[in-house]
């Protein structure tokens, strides 16, 4: 008798004439249920707010969002393309590299570092406009996460910067989550000691508030 071994299978001795049947049985075991849904990849293109700066990997925004979506029965896989310190220009520069993951949905979370550095809102607008244009050309669904300028930069700057996100969402006809840090910004209990980056509790708030927007994009593909 010939004995064949593959990992993860309970083995019995199989006679050579039965190998074809046995192979088919093993393939079924390894493949899993025939009706298992193929996960939709959701790419989070962002900065340290997306990458999970200062947090364990399992507490980062993409990981927590994936867990929440899966708990609701959505077959998804989140791809964390957050880079700490990235500006809209940085996101624009690495977009093609990030898109090698071939996501079906992209959450664009950029702009926080632009405002913290007081960069020209027109430059932020141009960078995000280019990102959205290129994403639309690939046929992916998009959720643009808005950002707001810190109050200390003044009303004029804040007004110009804050207007960038709804303006671009309208121009490109993409979904907009008005403010990524809604319910978390300036709330000491939801932020790390630096007062900028959300702690685990803050990430939970962000996930809960942005979740309906992501679910709508998922349902639009069904």
Residues taking part in catalysis: 48, 194, 197
Residue 44 pLDDT: 98
Assigned token pair, 49: 């707010």
Q: Residue 189 pLDDT > 60, yes or no?
A: yes
pLDDT digits (tens, 9 = 90+) for 213-222: 999 999 986 5
- Reduced to 3 states, what is the DSSP secondary structure of residue 125? helix
Residue 19 pLDDT: 38
pLDDT digits (tens, 9 = 90+) for 67-98: 999 999 999 999 999 999 999 999 999 999 99
Task: Specify the DSSP class assigned to residue 114.
Answer: H
pLDDT digits (tens, 9 = 90+) for 117-152: 999 999 999 999 999 999 999 999 999 999 999 999
Q: Residue 192 pLDDT > 90, yes or no?
A: yes
Residue 198 pLDDT: 98
CB 39 within 8 A of CB 75: yes
Q: Residue 160 pLDDT > 50, yes or no?
A: yes
Assigned token pair, 142: 């998009």
Residue 18 pLDDT: 43
Entry pTM: 0.83
CB 177 within 8 A of CB 50: no
Residue 36 pLDDT: 56
**Other CB atoms closer than 10 Å to residue 187's CB: what's the count?**
14
Mean of the per-residue pLDDT values for the chain?
A: 87
Q: b/e for 105-114, b at 16 or more Cβ within 10 A?
A: bbbbbbbbbb
C-alpha to C-alpha distance for 60 and 55, rounded to whole angstroms: 6
pLDDT digits (tens, 9 = 90+) for 8-44: 434 333 343 443 334 433 433 444 443 457 899 999 9
Rounded to 5 degrees, what angle do the CA atoms 126, 97, 197 make?
Answer: 70
């Amino acid at each position: 008798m010939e004995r064949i071994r593959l990992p993860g299978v309970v083995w019995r001795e199989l006679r050579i004439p039965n190998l074809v049947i046995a192979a088919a049985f093993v393939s079924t075991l390894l493949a899993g249920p025939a009706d298992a849904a193929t996960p939709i990849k959701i790419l989070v293109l962002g900065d340290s707010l997306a990458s999970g700066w200062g947090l364990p990997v399992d507490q980062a925004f993409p990981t927590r969002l994936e867990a929440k979506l899966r708990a609701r029965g959505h077959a998804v896989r989140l791809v964390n393309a957050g880079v700490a310190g990235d500006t809209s220009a940085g996101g624009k520069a690495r977009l093609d590299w990030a898109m090698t993951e071939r996501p079906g949905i992209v959450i664009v979370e950029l702009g926080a570092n632009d405002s913290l550095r007081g960069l020209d809102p027109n430059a932020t607008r141009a960078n995000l406009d280019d990102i959205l244009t290129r994403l639309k050309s690939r046929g992916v669904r998009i959720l643009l996460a808005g950002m707001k300028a810190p109050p200390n930069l003044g009303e004029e700057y804040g007004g110009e910067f804050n207007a960038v996100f709804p303006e671009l969402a309208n121009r490109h006809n993409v979904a907009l989550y008005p403010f990524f840090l809604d319910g978390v910004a300036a709330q000491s209990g939801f932020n790390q000691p630096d007062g900028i980056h959300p702690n685990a509790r803050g990430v939970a708030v962000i996930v809960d508030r942005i979740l309906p927007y992501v679910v709508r994009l998922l349902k639009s593909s069904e």
